[in-house]
């Protein structure tokens, strides 16, 4: 528990001391399907899980290991990828049934090709998982047919399609790092296809040389005659309660044939060391994700070989972050030639005790050594020191993007200086193109390769062809490494700081630096536009005229007719993601009390006599300014029929469509490419009285201006362009107020009168005596009872006993009761 507490305190302390990572923002972003970045795709309804890519030496054929198939794609044409041949290699129904009986999902039982290597000039060696029973075979590279029947692939290919592995063929022999059993508990680094006096070799399973590894990559160094393996595993040398993952590099010699008595058919030159991707006062990035080898420059020593790797961290403090570290071959060799840790077989504890060396672990030629020397190297295979990154610092680190794959290329710029360019693939489907400068990493662009994130299995770079191939679960995507034609001005070409591209003053175009014989303008380190393009940044006086002339001398841009008290929002397009938008006015300051600078670079304010006039939007990047938009905000001249300026921006290239042209090659610079506005007539309905009182109603004025009506108060007088309106009057609404008040009083009086009448009627009904009228009870009497009742009423009236006598009632009774002879009916005469 004490060790665990110390570890937790150390992690917390290092996390607190860790400095904030520099935010790496791609300068230009190309969404999926953007016309500014051309991509070529290959997909087919019966092709999926392109897990392995192999490129021919001439770069015209791409061999793809997919699910149940090996493909040969013709990639020699620029704009299309076609299927040349296809080898179907799928398990039988019996194999699939056995795989299902082992408890595996049917989706994992097909044959996933995981090994694809050139054996010689005519054949390819291929291995697949084959329903959790690995198989390997020889494939003719021309006809894509099997030369022999597939044989067992145990120890050459993983059983599980989700387990990572690595394989490389050197001089006809296969060197692999994978697992050798069905459960994945026996990791091995082995050699196969040995002939003659050479025998196949592997690691001793009982020595614990590997601790639950995840194999990443392997690389062959010809001058060293060694094969290096890169993987991550559990670091048993650290006595932590939780499993601590470490990244490793291991080596074996090609001349190794095993010991005569000790370590028979086992490696005698195996050694491993820790790769430490860590900066000062920071937690280490201890989990390796991918690694690529960069050969030395022409004429340089093999020791200058660099290995660039992507690392992540298992610590929650660095969760979601990625780092890139580079390791020099000379540093790896120095660690392997140093001291080694000692493993106590009884306690399984490592110690750094230095003891007398009987042999040098990792040294080639130990197969003829004595048994005592072989026992020493058998137990001392872990280097005491760790391999530190170049410069003892991170090559680049990102807190926003989590990278999964990378490939690296050395590019020679126009000044004959070489730069390292990294192509990094994020887990969200973006490919970042980054150049390493003295000041740090600079991400030139990002390209969205996939519309939806999906598993990426491989990344292949073709330096001669200048393209990158990305293998996904759905197919293959190809994109060129250079995109110089996208930058159509000298300023943009220089600000990109792309070693592939330079500005050709003769053709006035941004071209690939390696494809032109003439000198091109570049400034990769600083990106200085003024010096490189021989241009001068416009000053405030140059933009608005000398001696602070009036606003009328400002260049005309887009006219924005507004009404007073409306909220105006002026858009400002960004030249790039690294640019910063600025707003200026002639002879005026943009006070924070009147103007609001929004996060997207736009400017918002309320239209008043003080805020009418010209506005200029500027984009600043790396000390270079360029005009992006010019607006002239003016008051409407008529409440009904208005004369406004219709303005349409010229159609240019995507994402920078509104950028100002900078004629840098000839030393000319313009403030914008807006022509003189053309006056057009347009009907615009004036808001009614009810809508004038409504606040916050948006109205679009073109695509770059949004107006919001705050309330009444339009001035119907005319406006002289370029002059303020200090004497502008607000309209009076006294008459309207009086009319509304009188109407309100009348409505209230009428409402009170109606209410009193209704109340009075209800009171009368409740207090009035009941009249002798037919009721519901009379309706319920029989006809005889009703006739008798009428007789009684008439008799009472005749005798004067009726309290409610009347003329109409008497006549009614007489008419009802008296017959034709004047006597009562049904009475005897």
DSSP string, 103-131: T--GGG-S-BEEEEEE-SSSEEEEEE-TT
SS (H, E, C) 26-46: CCEEECCCCCCCCCEEEECCC
Instruction: Domain 540-709: give its CATH superfamily.
Output: Immunoglobulins (2.60.40.10)
- Of 475, 450, 478, whose CA–CA distance to 45 is shortest? 475
Spatial separation of the C-alpha atoms in residues 572 and 599, rounded to whole Å:
11
**Lookup result for tokens 């300051």:** 589
18 and 282 Cβ atoms separated by less than 8 Å: yes
Q: What is the torsion angle, in degrees rounded to the nearest 10, for the CA atoms of residue 538, residue 543, residue 547 and residue 548?
A: -130
CA angle 60, 158, 205 (to 5 degrees): 130
Q: In 3D, which of 21, 19, 20, 39 has the Cα closest to residue 445?
A: 39
**pLDDT (tens digit, 9 = 90+) per residue, 294-349?**
999 988 999 999 999 999 998 877 777 899 999 999 999 999 999 898 887 777 77
User: 106 phi and psi, to 5 degrees?
Assistant: -65, -25
The answer to whether 193 and 174 have CB atoms below 8 angstroms apart is yes
Among residues 118, 127, 110, which one has the least CA distance to residue 65? 127
Query: What is the spatial distance between Cα 301 and Cα 295, in angstroms, rounded to a whole number?
Result: 10
Instruction: Using alpha carbons, list the distances in angstroms from residue 419 to 435, 486, 500, 660.
Output: 7, 21, 10, 30
Report mean pLDDT in 10-residue bins for the chain, 829 residues.
41 41 83 90 90 92 95 92 95 93 92 95 95 95 90 93 94 95 90 90 81 95 94 88 90 92 91 92 90 93 96 82 95 94 79 74 86 88 94 91 94 91 92 95 94 80 94 90 93 94 91 80 92 64 43 65 93 90 86 88 92 92 90 78 38 37 37 36 37 40 50 37 38 75 91 91 68 45 57 51 42 41 40
Question: Between the CA of residue 467 and those of 6, 75, 461, 478, what are the distances in Å?
Answer: 49, 10, 6, 7
Under a CB-based contact definition with an 8 Å cutoff, are residues 435 and 314 in contact?
no
- Pairwise CA distance, residues 534 & 629, whole Å: 23
SS3 807: helix
Helix (H) or strand (E) holding 801: none
212: left (phi over 0), alpha (psi -120 to 50) or beta: left
CA distance linking residue 334 with residue 458, whole number of Å: 31
Is 362:251 a contact under the CB 8 Å cutoff? yes
Name beta bridge partners: 596.
Answer: 604
CB distance 491 to 535 below 8 Å: yes
Rounded Cα–Cα distance for residues 764 and 780 (Å): 28
Q: Class for domain 484-533, per CATH?
A: alpha beta
Nearest to 385 by CA among 332, 317, 423: 332
Phi-psi region of 242 (alpha: psi -120 to 50; beta: other; left: phi over 0): beta
| N-term to C-term CA, the chain | 133
Q: How far apart are CA 266 and CA 203, in angstroms?
A: 5
Which residues on adjacent β-strands are paired with residue 189? 177
d(CA 206, CA 461): 39
Question: How far is Cα 578 from Cα 25, in angstroms, rounded to an integer?
Answer: 7
Q: d(Cα 401, Cα 387) in Å, to the nearest integer?
A: 25
Q: Are 609 and 729 in contact (CB under 8 A)?
A: no
CA 590 to chain centroid, in Å, comes to 35
DSSP 3-state assignment of 408? Answer: strand
DSSP summary character for residue 157 = S
For the chain, give every residue range classified as CATH 3.30.1680.10.
484-533
pLDDT in tens, 274-289: 999 988 778 889 999 9
Exposure of 61 in the CB half-sphere (CA atoms within 13 A): 14
**Residue in 610, 568, 569 with CA at minimum distance from that of residue 588:** 610
Indicate the pairing of strand 418-426 with strand 430-437. Answer: antiparallel
Domain with CATH 2.60.40.10 in the chain: 540-709
Secondary structure element (H or E) that encloses residue 793, with its range: helix 783-798
**Contact (CB, 8 A) for 564 and 608:** yes
Question: Which of 511-520's residues contact partners 24+ apart within 8 Å by CB, and which partners?
Answer: 511/484, 512/482, 512/484, 513/412, 513/413, 513/414, 514/412, 519/414, 520/414
Cross-sheet strand order for the sheet of 403-412: 28-30, 440-448, 430-437, 418-426, 403-412
Q: Are 336 and 317 in contact (CB under 8 A)?
A: no
Whether 176 and 252 have beta carbons less than 8 Å apart is answered as: no
DSSP helix/strand/coil, 561? strand
Paired residues of 310 in beta bridges: 290, 324
The answer to whether 815 and 807 are in contact (CB under 8 A) is no
Distance CA 346, CA 366 (A): 27
> Is 186 within 8 Å of 155 (Cβ atoms)?
no
- Confirm if 604 and 615 have CB atoms less than 8 A apart: no
Q: Which two tokens stand for residue 407?
A: 């490939």
């Amino acid at each position: 528990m004490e060790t665990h507490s110390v570890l937790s305190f150390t992690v917390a302390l290092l996390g607190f001391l860790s400095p904030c990572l520099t935010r790496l923002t791609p300068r230009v972003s190309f969404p999926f399907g953007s016309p500014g970045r051309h991509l070529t795709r290959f997909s087919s309804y019966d092709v999926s899980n392109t897990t392995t890519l192999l490129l021919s030496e001439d770069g015209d054929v791409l061999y793809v290991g997919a699910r149940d198939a090996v493909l040969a794609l013709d990639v020699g044409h620029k704009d299309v990828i076609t299927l040349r041949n296809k080898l179907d290699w799928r398990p039988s129904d019996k194999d699939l049934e056995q795989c299902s009986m082992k408890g595996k999902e049917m989706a994992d039982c097909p044959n996933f090709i995981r090994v694809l290597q050139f054996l010689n000039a005519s054949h390819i060696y291929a291995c697949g998982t084959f329903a959790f029973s690995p198989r390997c075979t020889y494939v003719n590279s021309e006809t894509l047919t099997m030369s022999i029947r597939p044989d067992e692939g145990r120890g050459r290919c993983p059983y599980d399609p989700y387990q990572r592995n690595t394989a490389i063929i050197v001089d006809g022999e296969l060197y692999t790092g994978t697992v050798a059993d069905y459960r994945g508990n026996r990791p091995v680094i082995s050699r196969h296809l040995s002939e003659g006096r050479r025998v196949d070799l592997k690691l001793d399973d009982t020595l614990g040389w590997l601790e639950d590894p995840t194999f990443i990559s392997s690389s062959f160094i010809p001058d060293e005659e060694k094969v290096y393996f890169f993987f991550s595993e559990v670091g048993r040398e650290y006595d932590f309660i939780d499993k601590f993952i470490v990244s490793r590099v291991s080596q074996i010699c090609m001349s190794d044939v095993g010991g005569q008595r000790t370590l028979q058919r086992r490696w005698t030159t195996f050694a491993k060391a820790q790769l430490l991707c860590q900066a000062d006062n920071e937690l280490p990035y201890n989990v390796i994700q991918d690694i690529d080898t960069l050969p030395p420059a022409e004429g340089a020593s093999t020791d200058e070989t660099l290995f660039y790797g992507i690392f992540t961290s298992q610590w929650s403090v660095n969760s979601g972050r990625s780092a890139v570290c580079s390791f020099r071959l000379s540093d790896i060799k120095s660690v392997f030639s140093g001291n080694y840790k000692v493993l106590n077989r009884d306690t399984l504890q490592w110690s750094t005790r230095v003891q007398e060396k009987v042999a040098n672990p990792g040294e080639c030629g130990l197969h003829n050594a004595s048994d005592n020397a072989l026992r020493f190297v058998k137990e001392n295979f872990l280097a005491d020191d760790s391999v530190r990154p170049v410069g003892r610092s991170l090559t680049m680190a990102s807190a926003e993007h989590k990278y999964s794959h990378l490939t690296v290329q050395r590019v020679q710029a126009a000044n004959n200086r070489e730069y390292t360019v990294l192509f990094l693939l994020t887990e969200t489907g973006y490919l970042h193109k980054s150049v390493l400068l003295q000041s740090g990493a600079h991400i030139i662009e990002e390209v969205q390769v996939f519309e939806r994130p999906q598993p990426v299995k491989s990344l292949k770079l073709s330096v001669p062809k200048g393209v990158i191939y990305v293998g996904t679960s759905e197919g293959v995507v190809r994109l060129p490494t250079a995109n110089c034609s996208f930058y159509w001005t000298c300023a943009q070409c220089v600000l990109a700081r792309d070693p592939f591209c330079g500005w050709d003053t003769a053709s006035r175009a941004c071209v690939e630096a390696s494809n032109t014989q003439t000198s091109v303008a570049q400034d990769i380190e600083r990106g200085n536009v003024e010096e490189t393009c021989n241009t001068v940044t416009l000053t405030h006086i140059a933009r608005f005229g000398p001696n602070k002339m009036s606003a009328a001398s400002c260049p005309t841009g887009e006219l924005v007719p507004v009404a007073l008290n409306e909220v105006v929002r002026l858009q400002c397009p960004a030249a790039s993601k690294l640019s910063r938008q600025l707003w200026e006015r002639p002879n005026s300051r943009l006070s924070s009390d009147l103007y609001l600078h929004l996060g997207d670079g736009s400017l918002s304010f309320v239209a008043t006599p003080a805020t009418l006039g010209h506005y200029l939007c500027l984009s600043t990047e790396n000390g270079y300014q360029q005009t992006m938009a010019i607006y002239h905000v003016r008051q409407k001249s008529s409440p009904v029929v208005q004369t406004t300026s219709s303005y349409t921006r010229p159609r240019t290239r995507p994402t920078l469509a509104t950028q100002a042209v900078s004629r840098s090659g000839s030393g000319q610079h313009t403030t914008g490419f807006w022509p003189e506005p053309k006056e057009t007539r347009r009907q615009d309905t004036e808001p009614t009285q009810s809508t004038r009182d409504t606040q916050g109603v948006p109205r679009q004025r073109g695509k770059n201006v949004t107006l919001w009506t705050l309330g009444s108060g339009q001035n119907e007088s005319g406006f002289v362009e370029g002059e303020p309106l200090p004497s502008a009057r607000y309209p009076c609404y006294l008459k309207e107020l009086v009319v509304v008040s009188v109407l309100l009083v009348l409505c209230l009086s009428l409402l009170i009168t109606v209410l009193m009448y209704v109340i009075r009627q209800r009171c009368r009904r409740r207090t009035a005596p009941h009249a002798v009228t037919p009721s519901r009870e009379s309706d319920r009497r029989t006809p005889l009872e009703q006739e008798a009742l009428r007789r009684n009423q008439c008799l009472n009236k005749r005798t004067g006993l009726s309290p409610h006598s009347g003329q109409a009632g008497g006549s009614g009774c007489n008419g009802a009761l008296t017959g034709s002879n004047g006597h009562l009916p049904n009475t005897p005469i």
